Each structure stands twice: as structure tokens, then as C-alpha cells.
């Protein structure tokens, strides 16, 4: 029996792993490094791309987003570090929203291949 990937309870981890591999490839020639972030209060951001002069926090959602959803953890990171942009990688939604001075780019995973 075949099921939809978004219904698969463990889809998050393989999707997150795929995003990490695509980010590594995308930034392999820039000298950028990939980390994760966790605050003392337990807020977490899946990946932080460190480009030396700036950082890009990346949240990964293994779902077909219908509207922009900004997690409390990502909001916490934005408030603390005020990055120029943040990314939310998902399966379908393409949109941009702004929180203070940070542009949040929400886009489907296939755009990491471009």
C-alpha cells in the first residue's frame, strides 16, 4: 500500500536531511557553513547558514503549507539576530513576508535545485 508523504509520520526527518544536503551543495563554493541553533529557552532553528558577514536561518516544514506560518523559534532568532532574510522550505508554498527588517522567503524545496 502506498501513502501520501505528508501523511507519513516520519517524513520530517528524511525531508530535513534532504534539505541539509541541498544546502551543503548550494553553499559548497561560498565558504558558508551550516549549523543549527538552540537557545537556552529551548527555541530551535533547523539550520543557520553562516556566510561570515551574515546568517540565514532556515526552517524546514515537510508539509504543503497553505499560508505563511512563522514559528515562535524562528521569530525568536529574528528578534535576537535581525538577519536580512530567513527561509522556510516546504513542499508547495511560495511567498514572502516581513518581520521588522527581515524578509522571510517561503519556498518549495525544488527551488534549492536552481
Residue range 20-41, pLDDT digits in tens: 999 999 999 898 999 999 999 9
Q: What is the pTM of this model?
A: 0.89
Q: Are strands 85-90 and 55-60 parallel, antiparallel or unpaired?
A: parallel
Q: Is the pLDDT of residue 12 over 90?
A: no
Q: Is the pLDDT of residue 5 over 80?
A: no
CB 53 within 8 A of CB 41: no
Q: Which CATH topology does 5-113 take?
A: Trna Endonuclease; Chain: A, domain 1 (3.40.1350)
C-alpha distance from residue 109 to each of 27, 62, 88, 91 (Å) = 15, 9, 9, 6
**Tally of CB atoms within 10 A around 74:** 24
Amino acid at each position: 500500500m502506498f501513502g501520501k508523504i505528508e501523511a507519513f509520520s516520519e517524513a520530517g526527518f528524511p525531508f530535513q536531511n534532504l534539505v541539509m544536503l541541498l544546502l551543503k551543495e548550494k553553499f559548497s563554493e561560498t565558504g558558508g557553513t551550516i549549523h543549527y541553533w538552540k537557545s537556552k529557552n529551548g527555541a530551535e532553528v533547523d539550520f543557520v547558514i553562516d556566510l561570515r558577514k551574515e546568517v540565514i536561518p532556515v526552517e524546514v516544514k515537510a508539509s504543503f503549507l497553505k499560508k505563511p506560518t512563522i514559528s515562535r523559534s524562528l521569530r525568536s532568532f529574528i528578534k535576537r539576530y535581525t538577519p536580512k532574510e530567513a527561509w522556510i522550505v516546504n513542499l508547495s508554498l511560495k511567498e514572502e513576508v516581513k518581520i521588522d527588517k527581515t524578509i522571510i522567503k517561503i519556498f518549495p524545496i525544488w527551488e534549492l535545485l536552481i
